[in-house]
Amino acid sequence: MSLPPTDTPSSGFAASPPPAPASQPQVEAFVFSGRGSEYFRIWIVNLLLSIVTLGVYSAWAKVRRTRYFYDNTNINATSFEYHGNPIAILKGRIIAVILIGGYNITIKISPGLGLLALALMLAAMPWLIWKSYQFKLYNSSYRGIRFGFRGSAGRSYFNYLLLPLLSGITLGLLLPFAHQRSKKYLHDESKFGATHFSFDASVGSFYKTYLIGAAVALLGYIVIMAAFGSTLAALSSGLKYAGVAVLANVGLLLLSLYAWTFLIMPLFLTMIQNLIWNHTKLGQHQFQSKLKWSKTAFIMITNLIGIVVTLGLFTPFAHIRWFKYRIESVTLHATGSLDNFVADEEAQGSVAGEGMSDLLDFDLSL
């Protein structure tokens, strides 16, 4: 027996409206509009003035450089802003120079005192990294809302002192674990206004990425060594018996090993960026990264060639090309309006930490 249709009076119920389709996330792409020719002018002026002023102008150079990249990076037709104060950055760099200079003087006076000074600097490094995160994020904003960092100093010591030491003791076996914990610390503790970021990549996914990179690298080395098997066999008899052709092949072997090593770096960078950002959210908004190994390798190799051929003058163009590709490979899958964020207060952090990170060329954000 068939049931009466629901829209007939005999059913006793009115027709139910069809369920509303689930709203699809709105994909917001990051866009970088900077150009190498523009940045070259900023770069060359920054370089010359930093040399002429014996490094004093480097604080203003950092602000000009950072503001250029922020101003030319936008999402949803709005660019980011950088609020760093060059005077504050200069003070931080002076403190950093005093710390590093004190270590160099101390180690010349006494190796024992130098090692003690180095130990004290390493002990202070996690605190400086913690304060540097606060400073960098507090001085970054989007649509008038500042970023922030709420992480504790204790977790910074765990991630940037204890875990690196344990990774060294275990001959690198804990390195993927240390990498995952440091990224989780940075992303989980960062926020945009009152909205927090989150990071859910597992330790296992980092080990998998490291193992894939190591396996591909090892396979390539094995293939190269096998291809030059006759050359290696000739070398085993001693260099004095090796002819010109054998020595030429040795040079080609070393070049092949170096080239393969250089190709592995883009693979690892690609996998790591995609892993990190594909597991990062801002509130309910999901990030997605689609870097490709082939294009990453092409950009890095051509950048290196350009820098070498031009004796360094291609450096600003290389920075623009690499930054543009990395940032435009990331999209934000927004589940709602980007206008609904609320501002929040956040500690300003330490310019000493920022200055030290610059001098030691830290890049812990990615």
What angle, rounded to 10 degrees, do the helices at 86-109 and 58-71 form?
Answer: 130
Give the pLDDT of residue 249. Answer: 77
Give the pLDDT of residue 362. Answer: 44
Phi/psi class of residue 85: alpha, beta or left (left: φ > 0; alpha: ψ in -120 to 50)? beta
Q: Does residue 234 carry a pLDDT above 80? A: no
Sign of the dihedral defined by the CA atoms of residues 344, 366, 181, 294, in that order: positive
| Range from 23-37, 41-55, 234-248 that averages highest in pLDDT | 41-55
CA 201 – CA 273 distance, rounded (Å): 12
Sign of the dihedral defined by the CA atoms of residues 224, 229, 233, 234, in that order: negative
Least confident of 131-145, 162-176, 194-208, 343-357: 343-357
Q: Does residue 328 carry a pLDDT above 90? A: yes
Query: Count of CB atoms within 10 A of residue 215's CB?
Result: 10
Inter-CA distances, 366 with 19, 116, 184, 272, 304, Å: 42, 31, 11, 8, 21
Alpha helices per DSSP H over 84-202? 86-109, 111-138, 153-157, 163-169, 175-188
**Percentage of residues in the chain with pLDDT exceeding 90?**
57
CA proximity to 50, closest of 101, 100, 4, 90: 90
DSSP state of 338: T
Q: Give tens-digit pLDDT for 113-123.
A: 888 888 888 88
Res. 3 pLDDT band, cuts 50 70 90: very low
Radius of gyration for the chain, computed over Cα atoms and rounded to the nearest angstrom: 27
Q: Does residue 20 carry a pLDDT above 80? A: no
> Quick check: helix, strand or coil at residue 120?
helix
Give the pLDDT of residue 18. Answer: 55
DSSP state of 335: S
Question: Cβ distance 108 to 68 under 8 Å?
Answer: no
Res. 106 pLDDT band, cuts 50 70 90: confident
Give the pLDDT of residue 94. Answer: 84
CA proximity to 90, closest of 123, 58, 51: 58
Give the pLDDT of residue 239. Answer: 53
Q: Does residue 129 carry a pLDDT above 70? A: yes
Pairing of strands 330-334, 73-75: unpaired
Q: Does residue 359 carry a pLDDT above 60? A: no
Greatest Cα pair distance, the chain, in angstroms, is: 104
Q: Does residue 237 carry a pLDDT above 70? A: no
Give the pLDDT of residue 238. Answer: 58
Res. 171 pLDDT band, cuts 50 70 90: very high
Question: Cβ distance 365 to 189 under 8 Å?
Answer: no
Average pLDDT in the 326-345 region?
Answer: 82
CA 143 – CA 282 distance, rounded (Å): 15
Res. 63 pLDDT band, cuts 50 70 90: very high
Q: Give tens-digit pLDDT for 255-311.
A: 888 889 888 999 999 999 999 999 999 999 999 999 999 999 999 999 999 999 999
Q: Give tens-digit pLDDT for 70-102.
A: 999 999 889 999 998 888 888 888 887 888 888
CA proximity to 192, closest of 150, 145, 134, 133: 145
